[in-house]
Amino acid sequence: MTPVRGVRLQPDGRRALGCGSGPTKAGRHGLAGGHGSAAGTALVGGALIALCVAAVTAQAPERFGIGAPASPEQIAALDIDVRPDGTGLPPGQGTARDGAGVYAKQCAACHGAKGEGGPADPLVAADPPGLAPFGPAYEQWRGARPDVPFTIGNYWPFATTVFDYVRRAMPPTAPGILTADETYAVVAWLLAQNGIIGDEAVMNAQSLPKVAMPARKMFVPDDRKGGRTVR
């Protein structure tokens, strides 16, 4: 067997790595060149990353000291959602007569003086009578008529949702400025304009959930089967 330069053979013919009659290329030049270069670079890079991670971990504080715990008052100011059954409605009350001035001041510029629409969508319209503005029955009623807009009177299934949205998002230039009484009043005005309640009906946490919205029957629980059940 002919010895290989840089590798010494043991008496049984096996190679003894790392020793020989002369230095190998790797032994002479360290990690320069060839396959040894790629492997060595990877090892060095990995070691540097590990050192950086260890250094950052060692220096990271338990807390960064950004922000402060929310106070009960701050949480209460944001926790204002109202559910369809009325859960979350605040104390207060209002009638359509009370709401006429609130609407004129805070809403009419965008939605029209009587809720007919303007720069923003219309809020008042009873057509189609007894139907939501979609589905086969609606298309039969519509015939050659133009599509009617979606409004509180023909589309919204819960009066409590109107309250939730108005209190949370209106007016758009200063959402949240309406008091509970003002919100009840303007919601009562909108319901009365749509022919759902009378002008003298008092809307509050007890009466608002009982309002029967015309489109309620068009919304049903999704009980379809065949796909993955979401729980």
What percentage of the chain reaches a pLDDT higher than 70?
A: 76
Is the confidence at residue 231, as pLDDT, over 70? no
- 6-10, 99-103, 107-111 — which is least confidently predicted? 6-10
Is the confidence at residue 42, as pLDDT, over 70? no
Is the confidence at residue 89, as pLDDT, over 60? yes
| More confidently predicted of 83 and 15 | 83
Contacts of 218 (CB under 8 A, 6+ apart): 131, 132, 135, 157
The whole-number pLDDT of residue 181 equals 98
Distances (CA, A) of 80 to 77, 175, 207: 7, 13, 18
Q: State the average pLDDT for the chain.
A: 82
* pLDDT band for position 224 (cuts 50, 70, 90): confident
For residues 182-205, give the mean pLDDT.
97
The whole-number pLDDT of residue 2 equals 46
> Backbone phi, then psi, for 203, in 5-degree steps?
-100, 125
What distance in Å separates the CA atoms of residue 204 and residue 93, rounded to the nearest whole number?
A: 5
Contacts of 70 (CB under 8 A, 6+ apart): none
What distance in Å separates the CA atoms of residue 127 and residue 154, rounded to the nearest whole number?
A: 7
The whole-number pLDDT of residue 192 equals 97
- Paired strand residues for 203: 94
The whole-number pLDDT of residue 219 equals 85
The whole-number pLDDT of residue 29 equals 41
Q: Are 199 and 97 in contact (CB under 8 A)?
A: yes
Q: Are 111 and 105 in contact (CB under 8 A)?
A: no
Which tokens hold the place of 207? 């009466």
What distance in Å separates the CA atoms of residue 170 and residue 74, rounded to the nearest whole number?
A: 20
Q: What share of the chain is helix, strand, coil (3-state, %, to 5)?
A: 40, 5, 55
Is the confidence at residue 7, as pLDDT, over 50? no
Fold of the domain spanning 82-218: Cytochrome Bc1 Complex; Chain D, domain 2 (1.10.760)
Q: Are 111 and 118 in contact (CB under 8 A)?
A: yes
What percentage of the chain reaches a pLDDT higher than 90?
A: 54
- Looking at the chain, which residues constitute the CATH 1.10.760.10 domain(s)? 82-218
